[in-house]
A and B are shown apart, each in its own frame.
Chain A
Amino acid sequence: MAEKMTGAEMVIQALADQGVEHIFGYPGGAALPIYDAMFQQDVVQHILVRHEQGATHMAEGYARSTGKPGVVLVTSGPGATNAVTGLTDALLDSIPLICITAQVPTTLIGSDAFQECDTVGITRSCTKHNYLVKSVQDLPRILHEAFLIATTGRPGPVVVDIPKDVQFAVGEYYRPEIESLRHQSYRPQVDGDLKAIEAAVDLMLKAERPVFYTGGGVINSGPEASENLRELAELTGFPVTSTLMGLGSFPASNPQWLGMLGMHGTYEANLAMHDCDVMINIGARFDDRITGRIDAFSPNSRKIHVDIDPSSINKVVQVHVPIVGDCNRVLEEMIRIWRSKTNQPRTEAIAPWWAEIAKWRAVGSLNFKNSDTVIKPQWAIQRLYEATKKQSKEVYITTEVGQHQMWAAQHFHFDKPNHWMTSGGLGTMGYGLPAAVGVQVAHPDALVIDIAGEASVQMTMQEMSTAVQYRLPIKIFILNNERMGMVRQWQDLLHGSRYAHSYSESLPDFVKLAEAYGGKGIRCENPAELDAAIAEMLDYDGPVLFDVIVEKDENCLPMIPSGKPHNEIILPDTANLGSIIDEKGRQLV
């Protein structure tokens, strides 16, 4: 069923065949043939961004909120280099992206041509795989293979670099069979080893202090994985905690939910991890923000680790039962095997454990002292959460990176997967605003809110213009403390409160800035007026920059400081941060 067409037309045809409806991009000299082909069709809608980094984060938000791959189209040279941050972000958070980069004609490659860069060289270490297409004959196979690689196994970004002469060249387009397509060497393992799963269930059946530690892998595995996690939790009666990337896979309203774990996780989640006897890690990777000191990490537990990427297993923490496979399939098997052995949750056996957890919960590690005179950032998020609960629309939250991100993770609660988009692994300031644009493109009728900080949001503020152009009514909820709050907190903790460049000076007037872009601006600094101002933001049918002036020096707590195990977490009533870390902790490099 081959059909003659140009390389540029093949790009559009392959996107259409893959069911792509939206792509995020920015044109340039080398990409013009593809843009010309796009102009002459209406299957794939192009969203014009203001900076290529914005395009990559939009595609990430789009992908994370839909489960479909996000697609980016950029030109050669600076177009490609600007996309590198978003590609790296997608690699660390396992987000499926296809990034098509234009390249100078093959005859000019290596000549330091105008807008030439070694795109495949630069992106080799920040993609799951990448291609330089040297002949139009290879293009159909490579385009479809890129989608396969991006979306299967552990998802990730794939770059396809297409020289301009290949875009012009005419060749035969075909849609390859999936089996012939597959790189013979690329065979992700999706079914877990049955013996290992049985061993895991046996451990779970004997557990007295168990905990489920779940991560982004559950979300990547699809909505059925979240359903199965809920079912397994109900069957077993075990407590569940989750990483930053896994929020929403287990409902925050469920009594078995312990809250997020890790550096800024709850007291109960971290102590449950520290004191458990069986840890069931589903789709998380023992990131250093989770483990703290490895030698003091959950010292007395038997650990089960389910991960689709074999290299994640035993990379950081040695586990007793490794299971390589797709989270959903392994969860299904665990449920089946559990059911075949018992029809009772281990309610009685783990009652003492739940009693212990109840004591930790009673500590109230997310508490904070509220104020009548100044808006506390945690309270602002709680008010936002309460207001959005009353909305009939689906609510999606994106964040930037820093204190506001952690407060959002602690105080905004998620009951569904794919509704929380944040930069976890790379920690990319400037992620949230464009990610919100991408989410809103995918879900035009939803309420999409970027919980932001005034420092992060300025890194990709230009995408406000994209939101206005495409009438995307995103809400940007800026917790403005005139500080890079997390940097300031670390400087208090570790650097004698010497605030080297961690304050925001010469801030723009965000209300005027919003208006300059053609959106709406709102400012609020009085706690008494916050609810009304949030209502005003939610009622406005268009993009809003909401500047919430908050307490300047609030610390994000609880916190596990450097050099400390989980059970030495700093709680909110701690007065003097500067004296907490001892000399030994300070010397950790």
Chain B
Amino acid sequence: MNAHLQPTGSAYFLTQETQQTERHTLSVLVDNEPGILARVVGLFSARGYNIESLTVSETEHGRRLSRITVVVVATPKVLVQIKLQLERLVPVHRVHDLTAEGNYVERELALIKVQGTGEHRAETLRLAEAFRAHIIDATVESFVFEVTGKPDKIDSFIALMSPLGLVEVVRTGLAAIGRGPVGM
């Protein structure tokens, strides 16, 4: 090989990541102020963390607090860093790793447009009933379903609709909350 093309050294020391990645749901309580979402998202991109899903909305208007639910995939070591880095942001009050804490419920809502006539249309309706999906719009050749549940339930409903005339899907992303009487 030409000496000039050989791989060269570096000022940095890299070690291979050996830990397995895990999917965790974090709940982040923040001040609802301009730029807060950009701060959180910017932190993820700047430090190379992966976001699978993110939802945000004001939850306590009087105290101007918002709750961000973010699903991340990372190694256990990085998961701890994500929590601590989020807590470093000045407008962040608390971060709970719901997956690590264990006792929580999670739901997602999806709007699903399916087009079809004849037997396909009847089959679509039967499946929608089985999944407790509501019809929120209908024409003679289409439906829009609203379906709520855990993400894998929505995944399977979408998979079933796919051969029956799936047109498009909108998902809200995950909302999650701890079980029991205590708030975060």
Give the residue name and chain of the A residue nearest to B63 (CB).
A184
Chain A 278-315 interface mask (CB, 8 Å, partner B; 1/0): 00000000001001111100000000000001110111
**Interface residue? A120 (CB, 8 A):** yes
A145 CB to closest chain B CB (Å) equals 9
Answer whether A309 and B88 are a contact pair too, CB < 8 Å, given A185-B30, A185-B31: yes
**Across the interface, which residues of A come within 8 angstroms of B3, CB to CB?**
496
Given A124-B39, A132-B34, A314-B77, A588–B90 Cβ distance below 8 Å? no
Q: Which chain B residues in 29-88 approach chain A with CB under 8 Å?
A: 30-31, 34-35, 38-39, 42-43, 46, 77, 80-81, 84-85, 87-88
A232 within 8 A of B: no
For chain A, which range describes its interface: under 10, 10 to 19, 20 to 34, or 35 or more residues? 35 or more
Binds B, one of A382-390, A487-495, A540-548: A487-495
- Chain A residues with CB under 8 Å of chain B are 120-121, 124-125, 128-129, 132, 134, 149, 183-186, 288, 291-295, 309-311, 313-315, 490, 493-496, 498, 561-563, 581, 585-589
Additional pairs, 9, CB under 8 Å, beyond known A124-B42, A562-B12, A581-B9: A125-B42, A129-B89, A288-B13, A311-B81, A311-B85, A311-B88, A562-B13, A563-B9, A563-B13
Q: Is B170 an interface residue (CB 8 A)?
A: no
Give every chain B residue within 8 A of A125 (Cβ-Cβ).
42-43, 46
A292 to B15 CA separation, bound complex (whole angstroms)? 11
Count residues of chain B with CB under 8 A from any CB of chain A: 33
Instruction: Choose among A121, A295, A562 the residue that contacts B9 (Cβ–Cβ < 8 A).
Output: A562
The answer to whether A294 touches B9, judged by C-beta atoms less than 8 angstroms apart, is: no
Contacts A587-B7, A588-B13 hold; do A124 and B38 have CB atoms under 8 A apart?
yes
Indicate which residue in A183, A490, A586 contacts B91 across the interface (CB closer than 8 Å).
Answer: A183
Per a CB cutoff under 8 Å, which of A121, A134, A183 touches B31? A183
- Count: A-B pairs, CB below 8 Å: 87
Cα A169 to Cα B77 with chains together (Å): 49
Within the complex, what minimum Cβ distance (angstroms) separates A363 from chain B?
Answer: 24
Q: Which residue of B lies closest to A309 (CB)?
A: B88
Residues of B within 8 A of A121 (CB): 38
Write 26 A-B pairs (CB below 8 A) sorted by A numbering. A120-B35, A125-B42, A125-B46, A128-B90, A132-B35, A183-B31, A183-B90, A184-B93, A185-B30, A185-B92, A185-B93, A291-B13, A293-B13, A294-B15, A311-B81, A311-B84, A311-B85, A313-B84, A494-B9, A495-B9, A496-B4, A561-B9, A562-B13, A587-B9, A588-B9, A589-B7
Contact B9 A586 (CB under 8 A): yes
In Å, the complex CA distance between A498 and B4 comes to 9
B136 interfacial contact with A, CB 8 Å: no
Contacts of B39 in A (CB 8 A): 124
Q: How far is the CB of A143 from chain B (nearest CB, A)?
A: 15
B81 contacts which chain A residues (CB < 8 A)?
A: 311, 314-315
Identity of the chain A residue whose Cβ is nearest the Cβ of B34 in the assembled complex: A132
Tell which of A129, A292, A581 touches B90, judged by Cβ atoms closer than 8 Å: A129
**What does DSSP make chain B's interface, helix, strand, loop or mixed?**
mixed
Pick the 6 closest A-B CB pairs, nearest first: A494-B9, A311-B84, A185-B93, A129-B90, A586-B9, A587-B7
A interface, by DSSP: helix, strand, loop or mixed?
Answer: loop
In the complex, A295→B17 CA distance in Å?
11
Q: How distant is the Cα of A508 from the Cα of B6 in the complex, in angstroms? A: 37
A124 proximity list for chain B (CB < 8 A): 35, 38-39, 42
B10 contacts partner chain A, Cβ-Cβ < 8 Å: yes
In the assembled complex, the CB of B176 is this many whole angstroms from the nearest CB of chain A, namely 20
Q: Mark B87-111, 1 if CB is under 8 A from A, else 0.
A: 1111111000000000000000000
Render B8-36 as a binary contact track against A, CB cut-off 8 A, 1 for contact.
11111111000000000000001100110
Are A494 and B8 touching (Cβ within 8 A)? yes
List, in ascending order, chain A residues with CB within 8 A of B10's CB.
494, 562, 588-589
With both beta carbons as reference points, the residue of chain B lying nearest to A289 in the complex is identified as: B11
Query: Is the beta-carbon distance between B46 and A586 smaller than 8 angstroms?
Result: no
Distance (whole angstroms) from the CB of B1 to the closest CB of chain A: 12
The verdict on A295 contacting B15 (CB below 8 Å), with A125-B46, A581-B9 known, is yes
How near does chain A come to B35, taking the closest CB pair, in angstroms?
6
Q: Are A185 and B90 in contact (CB under 8 A)?
A: yes
A153 CB to closest chain B CB (Å) equals 9
Which residue on A lies nearest to B30, using beta carbons? A185
Closest chain A CB from B2 CB (angstroms): 11
Please name the residue on chain A nearest to B92 by beta carbon. A185
List the B side residues contacting A498 at CB < 8 Å.
Answer: 4
In the bound complex, CA of A300 to CA of B138 (Å): 69
